[in-house]
Structure 1
Amino acid sequence: MTPFAPPLADVPVAVTTGGVADWIAWGALVCSALPAGLTLLNLFAFRPPKTGETTSAAQASRERQPPERAERLPRLSLLIPARNEAAGIGECLHAALSSKEVDLEIVVLDDHSTDGTGEIVAAAAREDGRVRLEQAPPLPAGWCGKQWACRTLADRADPSRDVLCFIDADVRLAPHALRTLCEERARKGVGLLGGFPREACGTPTEAAVIPLIHFVLLGFLPIAVARRLRGPAWAAGCGQLFLTTRSAYAAAGGHDAVKASLHDGLTLPRAYRAAGQTTDVVDAAELAVCRMYHGAAETFAGLSKNATEGVAAPGLIGFFTLVLGLGQVAPIPLLIAGGLGLATFSAGATAALWAAAALSFGTRAALALAFRQPWRGVALHPLGVAFFLVVQWTALGRKLLGRPAAWRGRSYASAAPSPAPAAVLAGPTTGPRRPARRPAARPALRGAPPFTASPRPGASASAR
């Protein structure tokens, strides 16, 4: 006899929920866990300098020392390239002139400004002899404006001062910052020390996007490993604040080695390492504050100008799009889609999405707590990452179409190529150069505005 077979419609069918959707959910968990885990490790490696602010007792003791011991203070040239920085250069100089326990000169290069930047610096120079104004020579072919300005500043700095510190005009230094950085560089014995200031953010777009500087650094570079592996591919830095010795700068080829780059925060440390010099990075949130950009449009333009030398490099953008897009942007939209019935996830996959979202927001919250970043940026984190990825693809598309990058009224036909992760940046090809002859002092400008801090919105945040 033929065994009885129930009607097909009555046979229970096991339905596998999710399928591809489940794989996406688990992928989101993996992609969020990778930067979360590395960030956790890096929070123990990426630390503020150990020296900190001088105590009142130590300060009083030093003040009691005989005058001849004053020469033991670090003799430092603070070098500031400035192009149309009238809105904030006064504040920058006020903060720098409050520096303690350093023998300081401040050299500002007026890079063909049209807004009165030079007049403000000239007024500061008349009030304080530690300030000196220099005028930029014409920009040579093949040079990025900032790199040419920094090279010119290094040439015109007092040659008897062994320490060079480059800062952007929108950086505000704490009084103990320069002394602390000098001591930290000497303690570590490195040729180039990069400091990451606290990033002040005025608008929601800035709050969501600018702190991703720390997210990308700590989420994708194993800092402890980078300190042991001296290759250029492991180098990192921040173009807002670099401190170096004159001898290390010369050995690395200085800014000649990165003359076409728009991303000196990455390429200058790599040039140092390629020349056999050592580099390191520190958390400078307690030493300096910087407001990079103002508003969404400026943030987009500023980040896209040099993106193809970093995350938007053709060999890297696919990886970062996958990991950041899936791990940081996708979890919340996928959970919403599942809740609305637009996608079907198994119970395990749904739990994976919740875990991915928790890791994503948790990592951003940990960075906000550690580096005094705005908390509204944590709430906007997925949108900030999406904005960041759009910037990267826009920059790459512009490069592939042969369109120049533009910044500060200048266009650059092509930026310096970005090496793949394992590539080695070629050493500087220029030989030793003769220091540029320092021009004679210029007479003070008549009718120059007084030396006052005229801040842009949000630029006056203190670096306490």
Structure 2
Amino acid sequence: MILEALALALAALPAGMAAANLSRQPRATAAPAPGTLVSILIPARDEAENIGACLDAALGSAGVAVEVLVMDDGSRDATPAIVAARAGADSRLRLLEAPPLPPGWTGKVHACARLAEAARGTHLLFIDADVRLAPAAAAAMAGHAAAKGIALVTGVPRQVIRTLGEGLTVPAINLMMMGYLPGGGRAATSHPGMAAACGQLILVERGAYEAVGGHGAFRSKLHDGLHLARNLRTAGHRTEVVDGAPLAECRMYGGFREAWGGFAKNAREGMATPVGLPVWTLLLAGGHLMPWLLLPGPLAAAALILTYITRAAITWRGREPSWTIPLHPATVLTALAIQWTALVRSALGRPAGWKGRAYPATDGA
């Protein structure tokens, strides 16, 4: 009965947190201030399959003036040719070529830094090449920033999930942000440790960005969104996570292998630390997996019911497919396996690799 009570308590923690976060999650709906120019900045490396649709959506932005800059970061496919062809037909689009990656920089962070230097906008909207912006997204995010006095506005786009491998991995993003982050990244939680950001969709006010050193302030990091949000909060600026599902959609990965590699890459700067991961294992395994081992105990059954209600609420708010909900225990188990694998690889000094580049192991700081 003691273990059942513990499992129920650990299931109640994310349930209560999610209820508070989902009920208070802001939505970006305000109109931008006059004179606003949003620079939509897209780092691209080997994105021939994605870049055309990404540009169509970005150039279709309405309600605010935009420019679109693509930084080709050493692509080995037709990415630059596709962008160049489209730039010839729309003066709002510019193709830039990233200089060689300097020592000590990670690829995306370097590309974003160079994009910001070339941008002319009052606001910088960083998106990944697999993101499809809604027509009103740029205007709504810039309007929210101006209306609320917020330096950085971010959100998790609606995640397009089509395969079992994606269903086992991608839903963990919203689960962790809504179920385990006090305040859910809202501006009211001003402490840097409570900051959050999704690197797929980040709008930042230019003056604040430059004041904290932009991407150059964390040039060796991989989790660009999180570090930018933390740096801004440390300097006294406000950052906020809004409901991202109405603003954009994104298919992050094409299957399990790609998803595993992508999440493992960023794990070293998140949960996968020697101190943090045992605690996260207790929280996640205790609340989401242990109840299965304690059935048919009544408290264990209550814990499972609470867990699935929590997961369903988060899934439906994020507009993710409902068929992923029954996979929830396997999703949690997969997330922990990714984190522990990343921690072991880091301890052994094995580099993280992504798109043909390798980055040295870090301590997760």
TM-score (norm 1): 0.76
Q: Which residue of 2 aligns with 1:393?
A: 340
> 2:115, 2:363 → 1: CA distance?
21
Q: Which runs of 5+ in 1 are unaligned?
A: 1-21, 55-70, 339-349, 419-464
| Superposition deviation, residue 317 in structure 1 | 0.6
Q: Which residue of 2 aligns with 1:136?
A: 98
Does 1:114 find its partner at 2:76? yes
> 1:106, 1:224 → 2: CA distance?
30
Q: Which residue of 2 aligns with 1:74?
A: 36
Aligned partner letter, 1:47: P
Aligned partner letter, 1:404: P
- 1:343-362 to structure 2, matched below 5 A, reads 350-362=297-309
| Superposition deviation, residue 23 in structure 1 | 2.5
Name which of 292, 302, 306 aligns with 2:252: 292
What SS class does the counterpart of residue 113 from structure 1 fall into? coil
- 1:307-346 to structure 2, matched below 5 A, reads 307-335=267-295
| Superposition deviation, residue 275 in structure 1 | 2.1
Does 1:366 find its partner at 2:302? no
- 1:136-285 to structure 2, matched below 5 A, reads 136-158=98-120, 161-223=121-183, 227-285=187-245
| Superposition deviation, residue 296 in structure 1 | 0.6
> 1:129, 1:308 → 2: CA distance?
40
> 2:337, 2:204 → 1: CA distance?
35
> 1:145, 1:353 → 2: CA distance?
46
Q: Which residue of 2 aligns with 1:44?
A: 23
Distance 1:86 1:225, change over 3 A: closer
| Superposition deviation, residue 223 in structure 1 | 1.2
Sequence identity, in percent? 45
| Superposition deviation, residue 162 in structure 1 | 1.2
Q: Which residue of 1 aligns with 2:2?
A: 23
Aligned partner letter, 1:365: A
Please say if residues 69 and 95 of structure 2, whose CA atoms lie closer than 8 Å, have aligned partners that are also in contact: yes
- How many residue pairs align between the two structures? 365
Q: Deviations over 1:415-464 (max 9, x none)?
A: 4742xxxxxxxxxxxxxxxxxxxxxxxxxxxxxxxxxxxxxxxxxxxxxx
Aligned partner letter, 2:291: P
Distance 1:416 1:81, change over 3 A: farther
Aligned partner letter, 1:97: L
> 2:202, 2:185 → 1: CA distance?
21
> 1:224, 1:76 → 2: CA distance?
25
Q: Deviations over 1:81-104 (max 9, x none)?
A: 000000010000001111112211
> 2:26, 2:183 → 1: CA distance?
11
| Superposition deviation, residue 382 in structure 1 | 0.2
> 1:105, 1:412 → 2: CA distance?
32
TM-score (norm 2): 0.96
Q: Deviations over 1:351-399 (max 9, x none)?
A: 1110111011110111122221111110000001100000000000000
| Superposition deviation, residue 117 in structure 1 | 0.4
| Superposition deviation, residue 228 in structure 1 | 3.4
Aligned partner letter, 1:166: F
Q: Which residue of 2 aligns with 1:384?
A: 331
> 1:225, 1:251 → 2: CA distance?
21
> 2:138, 2:88 → 1: CA distance?
23
> 1:124, 1:24 → 2: CA distance?
60
RMSD of aligned residue pairs (Cα, Å): 1.7
What SS class does the counterpart of residue 193 from structure 1 fall into? strand
Aligned partner letter, 2:204: T
Please say if residues 184 and 241 of structure 2, whose CA atoms lie closer than 8 Å, have aligned partners that are also in contact: no
Please say if residues 270 and 364 of structure 2, whose CA atoms lie closer than 8 Å, have aligned partners that are also in contact: no
Aligned partner letter, 1:397: V
| Superposition deviation, residue 226 in structure 1 | 5.9
> 1:333, 1:136 → 2: CA distance?
52
> 1:230, 1:238 → 2: CA distance?
17
Q: Which residue of 1 aligns with 2:56?
A: 94
Distance 1:224 1:168, change over 3 A: closer
Please say if residues 261 and 416 of structure 1, whose CA atoms lie closer than 8 Å, have aligned partners that are also in contact: no
> 2:219, 2:20 → 1: CA distance?
34
Does 1:403 find its partner at 2:365? no
Please say if residues 204 and 376 of structure 1, whose CA atoms lie closer than 8 Å, have aligned partners that are also in contact: no
Of residues 280-289 and 258-267 in structure 1, the stretch that sits farther from structure 2 once superposed is 258-267
